[in-house]
Structure 1
Amino acid sequence: MNNSRVQVVKNEILSDNWYTLRKVTFNYLRKDGIWETQSREAYDRGNGATILLHNPEKNTVILTRQFRMPTYVNGNATGLLIEACAGLLDNDNPEDAIRRETEEETGFVVTNIRKVFEAYMSPGSVTEKLYFFTAVYSDTTEKRVGGGIDEEDIDVLELSLPQAIQMIAQGEIADGKTIMLLQHLYIQQMSAA
């Protein structure tokens, strides 16, 4: 991370409770040649991975529903959010991490994982980069005990892709990573048609 336009002056930890919140004071060389001192806070929770499970024969997807406190605080009356399976890397590589999360959250054991892209989800305040994956599942895909593990209180949903796309338009699916994966799959299908 050597950038000749950035000189870090001070790096303070404001909170290290759940994850790390830092305040960074730095000098930044603007494109007009003037150095400017700025301060920004950045929340570091580590990188993560997310996956959309798709059954091409039935054109269905597997999503999860769970309580998310920040959405509740921001006006989501129930706090429940429908999402693609996801989790932090926890020192694993992205593919191993998403295999683990898929089994824990959905119960599905998938082997044909395909990385589709990477994205910073909220680069103005959060350091997290997400690795996006897809995988095929079927009625015969191995399932293990998991799927809605008790400590996370997760519901596993199987929805048709058209229904999931409609739920985005109706505001029933409002999670960014999930919308990105569903739209990616939808575009892939439209391109193949």
Structure 2
Amino acid sequence: MTSNVRILSDCLVGKGWGELRDYTVTFQTENGEALTLQRECYHRGDAAAVLPFNRHRGTVLLVRQLRLGALLGGDNPFILEAPAGGLDGESPERCAEKEAMEETGCRIFNLQAVAQLYAMPAAATEKVYLFLADYDEHPRKTAGLAEEGEFIDVVELTVNEALDMIASNTIIDMKTVVLLQTLALREKS
């Protein structure tokens, strides 16, 4: 079906951390009707996220940091999530390893690919590469790179505590929910 989609216009709306562009596209539906849509799309590059897991302790590492989207959406802006970051020219695997170290202070190993997903394909081009990995060190209490404006709390939880936090809407980050549920399914089998 993508072969009949055409971009009629592409206009830069704004540029900052990424680019917001306005598009007009046209395509033909399966019943032959021609549709023209105008949509904005945000471009900031792809990212990688990793859920560090300690099998012996039954724990995972999450990070808590300010997320403007959660604040603007009416939620607590300091959300729990898996360590993640933009690829910035690196492979997804290397990015996951680097972000785990920067954001938790722990070295990860046995990196396992989970999925490559769009979190918001209607409005953003970002694809997130998701991974599970093992860790065996004790994390720092805080982390992050000052030059990137990061102040991150590192939170170690049991897998069951984290899963309960999904059910109570305490963990509301989509990539983290996917990773925790994937981990729970893999550990069951």
Q: Do they superpose with TM above 0.5?
A: yes
Question: Which residue does 1:148 correspond to in 2?
Answer: 143
Higher strand fraction (1 or 2): 2
After TM superposition, give the deviation of residue 111 of structure 1 in Å.
3.1
Aligned length: 186
Question: Which residue does 1:61 correspond to in 2?
Answer: 60
Aligned to 1:132, what secondary structure does the other structure show? strand
Distance 2:137 2:118 in 1: 33
- Unaligned stretches of 5+ residues in structure 2: none
Once the two structures are superposed, residues 83-110 of structure 1 have per-residue CA deviations (whole angstroms, 9 ceiling, x without a partner) of 0000110111101111111111111122
Q: Which amino acid counterpart does residue 58 of structure 2 have in structure 1? A: N
Aligned to 2:13, what secondary structure does the other structure show? strand
Q: Which amino acid counterpart does residue 33 of structure 1 have in structure 2? A: G
CA 1:87/1:150 → structure 2, altered by over 3 Å: closer, same or farther?
closer
Matches within 5 A, 1:76-95: 76=75, 78-95=76-93
Aligned to 1:4, what secondary structure does the other structure show? helix
Identity across the alignment (%): 35
Question: Which residue does 1:169 correspond to in 2?
Answer: 167
Tell me if structure 2 keeps the 8 A contact 1:12–1:24.
Answer: yes
Once the two structures are superposed, residues 156-179 of structure 1 have per-residue CA deviations (whole angstroms, 9 ceiling, x without a partner) of 111000010011111111111101
Q: Which amino acid counterpart does residue 111 of structure 1 have in structure 2? A: F
TM-score (norm. length: structure 1): 0.90
Distance 2:142 2:111 in 1: 18
- Unaligned stretches of 5+ residues in structure 1: none
Aligned to 1:112, what secondary structure does the other structure show? strand
Once the two structures are superposed, residues 44-83 of structure 1 have per-residue CA deviations (whole angstroms, 9 ceiling, x without a partner) of 111111000001111100000111111111112x411000
Q: Does 1:50 align with 2:71?
A: no
TM-score (norm. length: structure 2): 0.92
Distance 1:53 1:171 in 2: 21
Question: Which residue does 2:71 correspond to in 1?
Answer: 72
After TM superposition, give the deviation of residue 150 of structure 1 in Å.
5.2
Distance 1:4 1:160 in 2: 47
Tell me if structure 1 keeps the 8 A contact 2:141–2:154.
Answer: no
Structure 1 counterpart of 2:98, from 81, 97, 100: 100
Once the two structures are superposed, residues 19-51 of structure 1 have per-residue CA deviations (whole angstroms, 9 ceiling, x without a partner) of 101111122111111222211111111111100
Distance 1:131 1:104 in 2: 18
What is the root-mean-square deviation of aligned Cα atoms in Å? Answer: 1.9
Tell me if structure 2 keeps the 8 A contact 1:64–1:82.
Answer: yes
Structure 1 counterpart of 2:182, from 181, 184, 191: 184
CA 1:128/1:150 → structure 2, altered by over 3 Å: closer, same or farther?
closer
Aligned to 1:113, what secondary structure does the other structure show? strand
